[in-house]
């Protein structure tokens, strides 16, 4: 179970080809073949079918473990080799809906206080932010999700349990302002089982829809929240969204959620070893004290 072997195994699993994996990793086909054979003989199990190259059940399990292990290995290296000197620039990553008013304000304050600190910003899906933060590619990651009030987010591996709460706001059902439900003061999702929903995994942090059993009338694959709100306003369907996204919009109504009780929550992830790259008083404080 050498990480080297795991790395090529993951590559083979994802490309579906020994030769393609070899090319990516700058090996020969032969070497890849031998490495996979070594893994299989070590574990005493077949991991891949050949021709076509597909994962066996054991292989699929190993792939999941291996991806996590490789990230954590990188994370460990990043943590150990991190110099104690404060970095010259700050790299910050966000999921699309983690960018809210308090975060914007905090960032403004940070940049005003430490103008010398060059800042890089990246917006990407949850998984990318989580792994990039774990490996130290990002100094800080802001991620969002829906949970029960005051519950921590359940992050995908290798999410760091030391994440800090940054903001929490009510989760609402977004409907067009002319919608029959628009004046309701509260709805339960169960009452909306017959409605059509917009499934937008790139925007909202649900993998699919917030609750099983809801029908998606439209699947939106982008990450642009204005497109999603536009689709809702145009009557293509409903979605569960954080309340702040809808404030000030005349074309949309926000209906508070009754059951299940959900909030939209933003948490701050730190790269291993990062306490506060901009000094103890400024960055974390700015993000955490809105």
Partner DNA sequence: TGCGTTTACGTTGTGCGTAAGGATT
Partner DNA sequence: AATCCTTACGCACAACGTAAACGCA
Reply yes or no: is the peptide bond before residue 84 cis, omega within 30 of 0: no
Residue 154 near a copy of itself by CB under 8 A = yes
Residues 6+ apart with CB under 8 A from 63: 9, 10, 13, 55
Binding segment for DNA (CB under 7 A), chosen from 20-28, 73-81, 132-140, 224-232, is: 20-28
Q: 116 exposed, middle or buried (CB, 10 Å; 0-12, 13-18, 19+)?
A: exposed
Does residue 3 bind a copy of itself (CB under 8 A)?
yes
Say whether residue 251 binds DNA (CB under 7 A): no
- Token match 């929903």: residue? 197
* Residue 34 binding partner per list a copy of itself, DNA, none, with a CB distance cut-off of 5 to 8 Å that depends on partner kind: DNA
- Please identify which residue in 24, 38, 45, 216 interacts with DNA, judged by CB under 7 A: 38
Element (DSSP H or E) covering residue 122: strand 118-123
Please give the residues from 44 up to 63 whose contact with a copy of itself meets the rule CB under 8 A.
44-45, 47, 58, 61-62
Q: Which two tokens stand for residue 82?
A: 């991190």
β pairing state of 252-256 and 140-147? unpaired
Contact stretch for DNA (CB under 7 A) within 34-42, 238-246, 266-274, 278-286: 34-42
Cβ–Cβ contacts within 10 Å for residue 132, how many? 20
Q: Is 18 a residue that touches DNA (CB under 7 A)? A: yes
- The footprint of a copy of itself on this chain (CB under 8 A) covers a number of residues equal to 29
Distance in angstroms (rounded) separating the CA atoms of residues 68 and 143: 19
Stretch of residues binding DNA (CB under 7 A), selected from 45-53, 60-68, 102-110, 219-227: 45-53
Stretch that binds a copy of itself, among 67-75, 165-173, 226-234, 254-262 (CB under 8 A): 67-75
Query: Smaller CB distance to DNA: residue 26 or 185?
Result: 26
Instruction: Give residues 164-183 in contact with a copy of itself (rule: CB under 8 A).
Output: none
The CB-of-81 to a copy of itself minimum distance in angstroms stands at 6
Contacts of 139 (CB under 8 A, 6+ apart): 87, 90, 91, 92, 270, 271, 274, 277
Q: How far is the CB of 83 from a copy of itself (least distance, A)?
A: 9
Cα separation values, 102 from 64, 106, 153, 220, 273, Å: 36, 6, 19, 27, 25
* Both tokens assigned to 4: 């080297």
Our finding on whether 72 is near a copy of itself (CB under 8 A) is yes
- In whole angstroms, what is the distance from residue 236 CA to residue 48 CA? 43
**Residue 44 or 248 having the CB closest to a copy of itself:** 44
Which residues are 164's β-sheet partners? 268
Of residues 100 through 129, those in contact with a copy of itself by CB under 8 A are none
Q: What is the DSSP string of 141-162?
A: EEEEEEESTTPPP-PPTT--TT
Min separation Cβ 211 and a copy of itself, Å: 18
Distance, CA of 278 to CA of 196 (rounded, Å): 46
Whole-number Å distance between alpha carbons of 284 and 106 = 9
User: What residues from 249 to 278 belong to the interface with a copy of itself (CB under 8 A)?
Assistant: 272-273
Q: Which residues bind DNA (CB under 7 A)?
A: 2, 4, 17-19, 26-31, 33-38, 50-51, 53
Q: Which residues bind a copy of itself (CB under 8 A)?
A: 1-3, 43-45, 47, 58, 61-62, 65-66, 68-69, 72-73, 75-77, 79-81, 148, 150-151, 154, 161, 272-273
């Amino acid at each position: 179970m050498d990480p080297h072997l795991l790395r090529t195994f993951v590559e083979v699993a994802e490309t579906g080809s020994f030769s393609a994996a070899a090319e990516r990793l700058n090996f020969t086909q032969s070497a890849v073949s031998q490495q996979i054979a070594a893994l299989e003989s070590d574990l005493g199990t077949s991991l891949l079918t050949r021709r076509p190259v597909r994962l066996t059940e054991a292989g699929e399990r190993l792939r999941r473990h291996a991806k996590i292990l490789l990230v954590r290995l990188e994370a460990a290296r990043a943590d150990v080799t991190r110099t104690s000197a404060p970095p010259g620039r700050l790299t910050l990553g966000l999921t699309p809906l983690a960018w809210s008013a308090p975060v914007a304000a905090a960032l403004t304050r940070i940049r005003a206080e430490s103008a010398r600190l060059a800042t890089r910003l990246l917006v990407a899906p949850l998984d990318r932010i989580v792994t990039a933060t774990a490996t130290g590619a990002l100094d800080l990651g802001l991620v969002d999700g829906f949970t029960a009030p005051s519950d921590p987010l359940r992050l995908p591996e290798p999410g760091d349990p030391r994440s800090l709460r940054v903001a929490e706001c009510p989760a609402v059902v977004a409907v067009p302002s002319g919608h029959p439900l628009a004046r309701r003061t509260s709805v339960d999702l169960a009452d909306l089982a017959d409605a059509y929903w917009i499934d937008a995994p790139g925007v909202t942090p649900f993998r699919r829809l917030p609750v099983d059993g809801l029908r998606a009338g439209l699947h939106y694959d982008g990450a642009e929240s204005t497109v999603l709100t536009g689709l809702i306003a145009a009557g293509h369907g409903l979605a569960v969204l954080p309340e702040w996204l809808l404030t000030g919009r005349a074309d949309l109504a926000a209906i508070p959620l009754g059951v299940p009780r959900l909030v939209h929550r933003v948490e701050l992830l730190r790269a291993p070893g990062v306490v506060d790259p901009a000094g103890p008083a400024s960055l974390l404080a700015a993000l955490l004290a809105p």
